[in-house]
Amino acid sequence: MNKPNQPIDVVYTWVDDGFPGYSDALQRYADDPRDSDPNRTRDNLETLRYSLRSVWQHLPDVRSIYIFSCRPQVPSWLDTSHPNINLVHHDEVIATRYLPTFNSFCIVSHLHLLPGVSRQFLYFEDDVLANSDDLMDAMFTPDGHPWVHLESRKVVPHCKLDTATASPWNLSLANADNALTKRFGAKARRHIIHGPQILDCDLLELMCREFPERVEATRNSKFRSGDNIPPEFLARHLALETGAASLAPSALSNKVQGYASVENLRLWTWYQINRINRRKPMSITLNDSFGDTPNPKVETMVKKQLETWFHDPAPWEFPA
């Protein structure tokens, strides 16, 4: 079995725009309709709850679970006194000059500063779920070296993007690719998968030292912006360039990634979930693509599926 050479924590980034005051604060700073996209801040499916259940079910060797969120948010069902749970608020780690932040790139760029976090940790966005007892093995080579899991799609170079219409995500990928090209030379670089990745505190720190202007621009942006970099992408490719990690075989990355875009069209969402049930990937990502108004029938269908996958409460949940 492939095991890491040291203890491993799981780290989540999570917010819920249903908490009082959050949406008001967001609107005070938003100046682009994309900044107010609820797909990135909504927790209507309680995927964090089920993701934590999935970790308890499939990743029993994890040492601790970190949840990085903005003050004063705490899930109502979560017992933060449980010894395996570390809930850390942004203002405990992120400098005051960057707060409040609604930029996931800014938040991820601080994960290596979480107090006591393991040097290598498994990064989960809050819509990612473990779906196999073999998932941790798929994160490491037989000698304990971390894999980097990439998709088959190539990153689009900045020169081929229309900066007026391209999304901040695609522009940020191009920025990261440009930074890596200047440092290590040009090559075709691929997207990271939609799913878990091993991040390394030393590599995140190296990223901040190697690309300080890019990191500072990212941290100064309240929302994702065209001059940002995505740390989860840049740090993973930096690990490959420096030999700190190895490129995973495509067949293994395909087994790890299980992606579904959860949309208001019920039949399409049902098809994607059914495909996951047939494929049985090692992880599941349920990407919120509902738009402004989720379809209640789709919400009910997906919640029933989550309950089927991960029915048993984890020991850090308060009794219902």
For residue 36, what pLDDT is reported? 63
- Tokens standing for residue 183: 């440092």
Decide if 53 contacts 84 (C-beta within 8 A). Answer: no
For the chain, what is the domain count? 1
Q: Is residue 294 in a domain? A: no
Peptide bond into 33 cis (omega under 30): no
Helices within 243-313 (DSSP H only) = 250-256, 266-279, 296-309
For residue 126, the SS3 value is coil
Close Cβ partners of 81 (under 8 Å, ≥ 6 residues apart): none
pLDDT at residue 39, as a whole number? 64
Residue 267 lies in a domain: no
**How is residue 158 written in tokens?**
């900045």
Q: What would the pLDDT profile of 164-186 be if each residue is shown by its tens digit?
A: 889 999 999 999 999 999 999 99
User: Which tokens in the block code for residue 224?
Assistant: 């994702």
Residue 162 lies in a domain: yes
Is there a domain that residue 163 lies in?
yes
pLDDT at 41: 76
Query: Cα(62)–Cα(5) distance, rounded to whole angstroms?
Result: 13
Characterize the bridge pairing of strands 197-200 and 120-125: antiparallel
Establish if 46 belongs to a structural domain. Answer: yes
Specify whether the backbone of 8 is left (phi greater than 0), alpha (psi in -120 to 50) or beta.
beta
The amino acid at 218: T
Full-model pTM: 0.95
Give CA–CA dist 92/70, Å, rounded. Answer: 10
Q: What is the DSSP string of 134-178?
A: TTTGGGB-TTSPBEE-EEEEEPPPGGGS-TTTS-HHHHHHHHHHH
Give the CATH number for residue 158.
3.90.550
Domain that holds residue 220: 9-256
Of all helices (H) and strands (E), which one includes residue 66?
A: strand 65-69
97 part of a folded domain: yes
Sequence length of the chain is 320
Per-residue exposure over 246-260, b if at least 16 CB sit within 10 Å of its own CB, e if not: eebeeeebbbbbbbb
Helices and strands in the chain, H and E counts: 10, 12
* Residue 304 included in any domain: no
Asked, for residue 2, whether it belongs to a domain, the answer is no
> 185-224: string of b/e by CB count within 10 Å (b at 16+)?
eeeebbebbbbbbbbbbebbebbbebbeebbebbbebbbb
Instruction: State the residue for tokens 């449980």.
Output: 82
What stretches in the chain show pLDDT beneath 70?
1-3, 33, 35-39
